[in-house]
Structure 1
Amino acid sequence: MKHHVTVGVDGSPESRAAARWGAREAVLREVPLRLVHAVDWLISPSVPAPGREAADRWADEVLTEAEEDVRRRHPGLEVSTRCLSGRPAAALAAEAADAGLLVLGSRGVGCLVGFLIGSVSLSTLVATETPVVLVRESDAPEAAQPTRYGQIVLGVDIHEAADKVLAFAFEEADRRGCALRAIHGWKMPSMYQYAPFFDPENEREIGRTITVMLDEMLMPWRHKFPSVCVTHEAFEGPAPEQLVRAAASADLIVVGRRLRRSPLGVHLGSVAHAVLHHAAAPVAVIAHG
């Protein structure tokens, strides 16, 4: 069983936000927190010794700062640190293998609300099957110990069996004692674009059918987590747009990504990609088969 929460830190404001979020999550789960830093260059005999020493000092400072911050906020939390060597994305993905959750920071896009997914974060995200949460630095004042958690928004694809995604969302809502809002976006079949006569009732009937399918998909999880208050909505329109809009008032947004590779490399689905770039709330990306 995987017991700890791992956070990648690099000294940036975004990584500090990730460390604080990860610490709160570790407290909720009643598990240790592990802070890790990956040296962002290849250490080889060709690198002068002063350069390696500077990298080591920087790593120590980054880890010490993050550790002191989370210990000050959560005195009873078990915290450990680890410095990794090698390419950051590969090192972080390997470190995440025995973790229950990996938390990373993401940069905001200028004055726009959103995520700028750097190459390290994206490469790490698609290289691990461990759930990953990306946290954006917030301009709002942060309480050390929030007394109440907001709702969790879950993006659901009724055409895929994604039990890992559903399990993560329900478990998070259960441990937070907060509501869960499940959202599915759909569009009319393309053949209706060429129909000479379009009956609006067909559209309404499709919407009702999809809503029933969504409800049936959630039903076993409602029985498993009876204390979680669940609402569900099926919207006609792009799923990312609805999820991003819902995330404005959410504590966490949960989306899935399929475990698949193409000849050009790893693949991140369009919904997860769009949500990661534009959602204001932390985003949990859950890999599933």
Structure 2
Amino acid sequence: MNLRDIEYIVAVADTKSFQKAANQCYVSQPTLSGQIKKLENYLGGMIFERTTKTLNITPFGDEIISKARVILEQTNAIKNLSHDFKDPWHTPLKIGIIPSLGPYLIPSFLKTLRKEIGDYKFSFDEDITDNITQKLINRELDAIFLATDIDTKQFNEIMLFDEPFWVAYSSRDDMGHLNEIQTSDLNLDRMILLSDGHCLRNQIIEICNTYKQEDSVGFDTKASSLETLINLVSSGEGYTLVPALSLQAAWTTDKGIQVQKLKHEKAYRSIRLVYRKNYHREEQLLKLAELACLRLPNTVVKI
């Protein structure tokens, strides 16, 4: 067993294909398959179940691949050690972020990073919570910005700020006559939400269900992004709840939208930076967390 064999099995696990893994590792498919077969014989168990149409990871393989990812991460850490010792920001950080936060936090965040740290490389991967969490587990990302609770046995978190929810509605809507808006004022049949998979959708449903007797709320209209939500609200299709960082003056001037802060004790989400336990660049992540909070507007509350 050698490091190359470990790279092979992780590549197959990630690509779900021997051919794609071989291409990724710059070897022929027979070479990669042969080495993995030798490794399975050496370990005394099958890592992959192979059929003509599918490739599945065995329970034994799950354990092997999990440890293999740790080995590869530590190997890369050793390779970067000399550079990082001289310059801790030398190795690029790969950061995941949810779509309802990324467009509103990243622009000002990047300006702060460039000013405070200099011309160093950062990559941001914008995706839904489940996907970036899995990428963090797979060590494809170094840290992720989330708005949901985490498994504290597996991850560490740095709490950043609480972001209140605001009601966004058309200026032609009767809701504009209310001095303040509470959850009981919301007509759930007219609520527009993000599509399934977005944590923001689940959080809003949870808030609405705190005063509704049914186990779930039925929302007919769904959108794939906050921008689509706002355009639907502008056209008079209904109203929605939006996180504070997304608020824009142009909504009022260009789209005829009004906003009011929702009056409810749980009408907010807590943003945190999440990373794996024993991650070797914790000092850099602590600095990132500090910088992420430097230019926050007064509509959010720093934790």
TM-score, length basis structure 1: 0.22
Provide TM-score, normalisation by structure 2: 0.21
Which entry has the higher C-alpha Rg, 1 or 2?
2
